[in-house]
Structure formats: structure tokens, C-alpha cells
Structure 1
Amino acid sequence: MAQTELQASDAQPLADWWQSRRLTEQGCWHIAIGPFSLYLERTAGEWLVSHQRHSDDEPLHRVLQEPIEACPESLTVQRYVFQKAPLDFRLQPCLMDRPVVVKTRQPVLIPPGESIDFYISTPLCLRLLLGNDTLLQEWPILRLSDTWFGPSTRVGELCYAAKTHARHSLDEVPLRPHRAVTPLTISNQSKAILSIDKVSLPVPLLSVFARSDHTLWTEAVTLVHQADQLLAKLKIERKLPVGITAAQRVTEPRQQAEKNALVRAFAGIFSD
């Protein structure tokens, strides 16, 4: 990725915030991505890093970088010491380290043999990389609640609960810099109606792609429900869906999906 030296004149909204950049010595910078603020300071032998999350009242569509005189003293500072501090840094968007459970806007009923498309946006994590991609730290941009997803306390898995909805139309999805959008198809291949009120999206198995319009996406995912099975068949397309073009993969999946994988994907299933 191309490197750009940060100068005072660059204190404008930055869309492609995942590009590699250079911080001048003794410089202090504030970078805001949605509700998350990161503060960086570099000296000859150190990088000083602090961060904070803002309330929901803060602008969620913002991407901002600006020079500041000093980092806020009220924040906890992480001090990284080097014989010679790297000059360059890169912020890398990645997906959460557990599946994310989202609610449909209302219970969805899918007749036998039918498929339905959703668009789901999930919050990102942010990695700070220095020099030749040395990882310093990773933060979730939003703090999500833990939730147990499964039919009982003994059967299931620990996930995150996201305050978002599975939306049926792409036009309804707000495109925000701290979230990635996943096109999701749910296919009912059973002989009974499939009712869903929650979906668990296996985001650790997905990549992050950046489009030329600066929005972030993942591969398309298909979940197939078959008769008398509580687990769904998972299919991940190793490319973006039709109509989503001019994209570059910026982050690989945390985990590789097994072939013909089965996942616990739906809550609220019933048949009649």
C-alpha cells in the first residue's frame, strides 16, 4: 500500500483510513473512526498510544484525522519502546473474534424451497500495525455484549450480541466506516416453514474488502437449512457478490472455514 506523510494540511476527513501512513517525529495525531478515537505520538525511540470510545451521540459516519498539540492526559497511555522507532503505521480493519448474533426487524417466515437475501452490518475491530506490519494492539471499535447462542446452557457457543438488524434491502443499510456489510442468503431446503428471529453470523471466517467508494464488505454467505437439522450448512463465496466491484481484500479471515461446514446459525426455528 502507498505511504502518505501526514502533514497539518491533511487534517480533513479521510475515507480510506486503512492505508499505510507516516507520522513525523514528535508529532501527535488524533484519528477518529465512527465512535472510536485513537491518539498516536512518535519520538525517536517510542510510540505512545491511547484511545477512547465516544457515546452514541457522536457522529457515527465520521472518519477524521487531525494534528493535535498533545494527547489527552486523562487517557491511559500504552508506551512501546524501540531502539529506533518505526516511521510508518497502518490501521487494519478486521472482524470480531466470535460469531455476531443479530435480530431480524421482525420474525421472518421462509416457505419450503425459498431463499431470502439479507444485508447485515457488523462492527469492526481495529489493529494498529507499525513498520513492516508489527502488530501493537487490537481494539473492538464498539464494545458488544456477550450472549450465549444455542438451545440450552450446555449446547451452543459464546457469541457477541450486536445492536443491528438483518435488513432485506441494501438501500436500508446505513454504510458506516466502523462496520462491514455481509450479504447473507438464507435457503430453506426443508419441507416446513422456517421461522427466524435471530441469526448468528460466523464473522471470524470472513475477510474484509474495501471498495473504491471506501465502504467495507465481506464475502457473500449462504446458510442452508435442511430438514430435521438444528445446524445449517455454511457456504462462503471467496469473492464479492454480483454488483459489488472494484474491491481490494484488506484483511484475511481469522479462521479458515472447513469444507461442508455446519454452523449453529438460527434462533426461533419452528416447523409445521
Structure 2
Amino acid sequence: MALSELQATDALPLADWWQPRRLSEQGCWHIAIGPFSLYLERTAGEWLVSHQRHNDEELLHRVLQEQLDDRPDSLTFQRYVFRKAPLDFRLQPCLMDRPVVVKTRQPVLIPPGESINFYISTPLCVRLLLGNDTQLQEWPILRLSDTWFGPSTRVGELCYAAKTHARHSLDEVPLRPHRAVTPLTISNQCKTILSIDKVSLPVPLLSVFERSDHTLWTEAVTLVHEATQPLAKLKIERKLPTGIKAAQRITEPRQQAEKNAFVRAFTGIFSD
């Protein structure tokens, strides 16, 4: 990907904020991705980095890059010192480091032998990479609450609770610059009805893809419920589903899924 200079104004509804950039030594650069703001300043021998999050819902679709005359006085900057500071940087979108628990819009009952499709958007983290991809920091764009997912306080795993819904139609999913969309299929191969109102999505096992319209996606995921297993069988397609074209992988998974993996997906105790 070719480097491009940061421009004084670059605001688009959905922009490719993950492209490599070159930072001048003049002023402080402010980069906003939805509710998350990043401030960067470079000299010949150091980088100054700070960030903040906003609670204003009107900022959820914001992508902004602008040059400020001075750094904000209210923020504390972290100082990274180099013999010769790198000129270039890029922001890399990545998924959360734990599974994310989301709600269905209403409780769903899946009869035996049936499958249902959902689209789930989950918040991203952002990595700051300098030069030849030296990572300085990583931040979650949204700070999610912890939740326990399992049948008891001793059996299960610590996850994140996301304020989002599993939706049946892609048209119902808001496409926002700080989230990635996962196509999810739930298949009930048991002889009894499967009742679900929350789903745990194993996002550390998923990649991030960019499309030409600047939306971010993951691979399609299938969770299979079988009578012989208390866990769900996990299938991850290593590409986007049919009909989702012009996509390029930009971030690898945090973890590689095991072959014939099983995950705790539908049942458990939640403490939001």
C-alpha cells in the first residue's frame, strides 16, 4: 500500500483509516474513529501519543483526520524516544482479545434440523504501528464490561459484554467505522428445540477484512448445536461469504482455531 501524507481535513462517513501515513513534525495530528480519538506528535527523536474516548452517540459514524496547532492540555501524552524517529505509521484494526457476548433482538427458538443466519457487529481495537510495523500501543475503541459465560462460576470463561444485537438482516446492521461485521449461522442438529437469547462470538479466532466501500468484516462463522455435545461445534470460513466481494484481509486472527474446535456459545450464566 502506498504511503500518503495526512491532509489538514479528511472527513468521510466511512474512510479507510487503516492506510499507512507519513507524519510531519508540524503540530499535533488528531485522528478520530467513531468515539475514539488519537493524538500524535513527532519530532526528530520522539513520538508523543495520547488518546481519549467520547460518550456522544452522534460521533459513532465519525472518521476524522486533522492537524491541530497545539496538543490538548487536558491529555497526558506517552513519550516514545528513538535515535531517529520513524516518519511513517499506520493504524491496524483488530478484534477484541476475548469472546464477545451479544444479545439477539428477541429470544429465538430454532427447531430441530433448522438453521438461522445473523449479522453481528463487534467493536474493534486499534494498534499503532510505526515504520516497519513496530507496535507502540493497542487500545479498545470502546471499553466493554466484563461478563462471565458458563453454567456456573467455576465452569466457563471471562468474556466481554457488547451493547449490540444479533440481527437477521444485513440492512438492519449500522455500518460504523469502529466495528467489524460477522455473518453468523447457528445450526440446530439436536432433536429438541434450541432456545437462545445471547451468543458468545469467538472473535480472537477471526480475521479483519476491508471492502472497497471501507466497511470492515470478518469471516463467516457457523455454530452447530449437537445433542452429544454441551459445546457448539465451530466452523470458520477463511473467506467472506458469497455475495460479499472485493475484500482484502488486513489483520490476522489473534489465535488460530483448532481443527474440529468446540466453543461455549449458547448457554451459561451472565453477569453484565
Q: What's the TM-score once normalised by structure 2's chain length?
A: 0.96
Partner secondary structure for residue 256 of structure 2 = coil
Distance 1:159 1:7 in 2: 39
Corresponding residue of 2:87: 87
Distance 1:107 1:228 in 2: 23
The percentage of aligned residue pairs carrying the same residue is 88
Corresponding residue of 2:226: 226
Report matched runs for 1:48-59 at 5 Å: 48-59=48-59
- 1:25 Cα deviation (Å)? 1.5
Corresponding residue of 1:205: 205
- 1:67 Cα deviation (Å)? 0.6
Partner secondary structure for residue 267 of structure 1 = coil
Corresponding residue of 2:43: 43
Farther-moved stretch of structure 1 (68-77 vs 35-44): 68-77
> What is the CA RMSD across the aligned residues, in angstroms?
1.3
Corresponding residue of 2:11: 12
Look up the equivalent residue of 1:98 and give its one-letter code.
R
Runs (5+) with no aligned partner, structure 2? none
Report matched runs for 1:237-252 at 5 Å: 237-252=237-252
Corresponding residue of 2:193: 193
Conserved? CA contact 1:11–1:67, under 8 Å: no
Distance 1:198 1:7 in 2: 43
- 1:73 Cα deviation (Å)? 1.4
Partner secondary structure for residue 93 of structure 2 = strand
- 1:86 Cα deviation (Å)? 0.3
- 1:268 Cα deviation (Å)? 6.9
Farther-moved stretch of structure 1 (128-137 vs 24-33): 24-33
Q: Deviations over 1:177-222 (max 9, x none)?
A: 0000000000000101000011000000000000000000000000
Conserved? CA contact 1:196–1:268, under 8 Å: no
Corresponding residue of 1:110: 110
Q: Deviations over 1:14-47 (max 9, x none)?
A: 7011000001123311000000000000101010
Runs (5+) with no aligned partner, structure 1? none
Conserved? CA contact 2:118–2:168, under 8 Å: yes
- 1:2 Cα deviation (Å)? 1.3
Distance 1:7 1:198 in 2: 43
- 1:12 Cα deviation (Å)? 3.3
Q: Give the total of aligned pairs.
A: 268
Distance 1:134 1:210 in 2: 22
Distance 2:217 2:27 in 1: 32
Partner secondary structure for residue 240 of structure 2 = coil
Distance 1:223 1:183 in 2: 11
Distance 2:140 2:240 in 1: 24
Report matched runs for 1:16-165 at 5 Å: 16-165=16-165
